[in-house]
Amino acid sequence: MIDLLVLWSWEHDADFAALLQKACEAVGVSMRSIGNSGEVELKTLPAALASGELEAHCLIDRVWDWGGDWEAHVPTAKEFVPHVLNPYDRVKPVWNKPYVHFELLKHGLNAPYLVIVPSVQKRA
């Protein structure tokens, strides 16, 4: 059983995963990283977790919010990994940055005002 399983897909997470790996090694925490080159591994993750082939105490999941095939492992991860450090149900509400800033302001906390600009892809 590994202590920490880290799933990532964004190319800029590679440095984060490498730093986290070094930090874990320094304190004797076992870590396994499945990154953007591990798409096959990610697709087989539900079966690996359900069969016990892969066991983890904790999970940091940075791929599920991409949707589609990237979130196919979520139900199995919720069932077989005791601690998801960024729990799915609690993370979704903060995707909407304008909503988060409004909530912070509403509760008396300082937050920068936002200007929402459509993406270049949507304008094309």
pLDDT of residue 102: 85
Q: Whole-angstrom Cα distance, residue 20 to residue 14?
A: 10
Domain covering 2-86 assigned CATH 3.30.310 in the classification: no
Q: Where are the domains of the chain?
A: 2-86, 94-124
Which residues contact residue 98 at a Cβ distance below 8 angstroms, ignoring those fewer than 6 apart? 114, 116
- The DSSP-derived string for 30-91 is -EEEE-TT-HHHHHTHHHHHHHTSS-EEEEEESSGGG-GGGGTTHHHHHHH-SEESS-HHHH
Burial of 103 (0-12, 13-18, 19+ CB in 10 A): middle
Digit-by-digit pLDDT tens for the chain (124 residues) are 999 999 998 888 889 999 999 999 999 999 999 987 666 688 889 999 999 999 999 999 988 877 777 788 899 999 999 999 988 888 777 777 788 888 888 999 988 877 777 777 665 5
> What per-residue confidence (pLDDT) applies to 32?
95
Q: What confidence score (pLDDT) does residue 95 get?
A: 74
Residue 5 forms beta bridges with which residues?
32, 59
Predicted pLDDT at 75 = 92
Number of other CB atoms surrounding residue 8 within 10 Å: 21
Residue 28 has a pLDDT of 98
